Amino acid sequence: MTSNSSIPDASETGKLASLLARFAQFGGLATGGVTRLCASAEDGEARDAFAALLREAGAEVSKDGVGNQFGIFRLADRAGAPLVMMGSHLDSQPRGGRFDGVLGVLAAFEAGRRLMLAKRAGVSFDSDFCAVNWTNEEGARFRPSLLGSGTYVGKMSMNDALASRDDDGVTLSDALAAIGYRGTDAPPCVPSCYVELHVEQGGLLEADEVPIGIVTRNWGAAKIDVSFKGEQAHTGPAKMGARRDALFAAAQLICDVRAIADKWPDRIHTSVGRLVVQPNSPNVVPSQTDLSIELRAVDDSILQEAEIIAMQAIDTAAQRANVAVEIGNRTSRSIRVLPPAVGELVKRCALEAGVRSREIDTVSGHDALSLLDTCPTGLVFVPSVGGIAHNEKEDTHSDDLDTGMTVLMRVATRLCQSGGDPVAAARGG
């Protein structure tokens, strides 16, 4: 095995930050944030730029049926070598941050580029490397979130994914076709190991002054899309008792969902972030409301109990407002522990790089969690300034980006020289 010292590293200081600055222009806002909704024109621009970077660096570029983008760097000397995969997502929230997702995609690209340079300089590898951009991680425009990675691992069918509609009724299929990313390539085979670099989106690393978070556990999450269907009427003459007010039902439910959080302080987070009202006119009793409930808990029994309460609250709200109710998308994921082997590998690489690391939970979902049942999976956090996330003010210091890149590069190198096996990779070197 070739020593890691032969891989370029320190000379690339600031390279990732400059790539990120470039990508922050796609859907970029004056505030420094981005609005780059999945399969929008801005997302198309970012995808094109990612594909161009990959090609230029010598990767084989492909896109699958739901628009997942893959760039495979052929590092091994044989066909059918194990594949090490890294990546994240280029889509953003509306007025979201410029690091969320794109950091992991560009760090993966950068790792692949450097590994390819190393190979050309004579370093030998026994695995290929793939940088990936997963479609619709955010779930902001299309639901569910983690759509691209979920489809890749078979948790969701391609047809269901493509039929997902945004709030204007546009299908993901049509939106991807419009930007040229309704692909026909087969996705690459299941990787031997998947590792994702992401911003923390919380304040623990910053508070502890630790630059690397090794995710060991993810909170469980339950997501429920609800439609209340009432009857459009004039807010003037229509008698109160005869009204079937879909917004009144939604309002009661939102208050009830918020109250669930108070039952288990700091152990469950509850929210309704999305509410679409029809016809949405001041003097019309709303005929329909569509909303999305999220429950995230650190304990499965809490999550299950909270789901029961939420489902009862939906029915109660519908009855009080005399409206019909339909449950749409409903997904849940249990509390999960990430494989210790990948965590150990990251820990060793951080130690070698001379930077502190700590174990940490993730409350938010990430594409890495989709891969969890498919292959050994790792998730690495770098600090978020002030813990701010899904907000234009989201920020990560440039030196923390470099530290994350350094550690990820060491992880990638070890994996690609150990047949993609994290246990062997942690041992070697």
Which of positions 185-204 make contact with a second copy (CB under 8 A)? 200-202
Question: Tokens 């997904």 label which residue?
Answer: 331
Does the annotation flag 269 for ligand binding? no
For the chain, the distance separating the N- and C-terminal CA atoms, rounded to the nearest angstrom, is: 7
Applying CB under 8 A, among 160, 231, 299, 305 the residue interacting with a second copy is 231
Query: Nearest approach, Cβ of 138 to a second copy (angstroms)?
Result: 7
63 binds a second copy (CB under 8 A): no
Task: Answer yes or no: are the C-beta atoms of 147 and 135 closer than 8 Å.
Answer: yes
Which of positions 361-420 make contact with a second copy (CB under 8 A)? 362-365, 387-392
Say if residue 137 is exposed, middle or buried (CB neighbours under 10 Å; 0-12, 13-18, 19+). Answer: buried
Nearest to 145 by CA among 339, 403, 298, 332: 332
Which of positions 247-266 make contact with a second copy (CB under 8 A)? 247-248, 250-255, 258, 261-262, 265-266
Query: Nearest approach, Cβ of 245 to a second copy (angstroms)?
Result: 7
Comparison of 84 and 90: residue with beta carbon closer to a second copy: 90
- Alpha carbons 331 and 320: distance in angstroms, whole number: 26
Applying CB under 8 A, among 47, 113, 114, 143 the residue interacting with a second copy is 143
Applying CB under 8 A, among 273, 300, 301, 337 the residue interacting with a second copy is 273
Mark residue 354 as left, alpha or beta (left: phi above 0; alpha: psi -120 to 50; beta: remaining). Answer: left
Nearest to 16 by CA among 94, 98, 103, 81: 103
Q: What is the dihedral of CA 138, 143, 146, 150, to 10 degrees?
A: -160
Question: To which H or E segment does residue 225 belong?
Answer: strand 220-229
Query: Nearest approach, Cβ of 129 to a second copy (angstroms)?
Result: 29
Does the annotation flag 390 for ligand binding? yes
Comparison of 290 and 402: residue with beta carbon closer to a second copy: 290
Which of positions 290-319 make contact with a second copy (CB under 8 A)? 292, 294, 296
Instruction: Mark the segment that binds a second copy (CB under 8 A) among 54-62, 81-89, 284-292, 408-416.
Output: 284-292
Does the annotation flag 234 for ligand binding? no
87 binds a second copy (CB under 8 A): no
Strand intervals (E) in 255-341: 268-278, 284-285, 288-297, 324-333, 336-337
Applying CB under 8 A, among 26, 125, 219, 228 the residue interacting with a second copy is 219
277 binds a second copy (CB under 8 A): yes
Comparison of 141 and 410: residue with beta carbon closer to a second copy: 141
Longest dimension (CA), the chain: 82
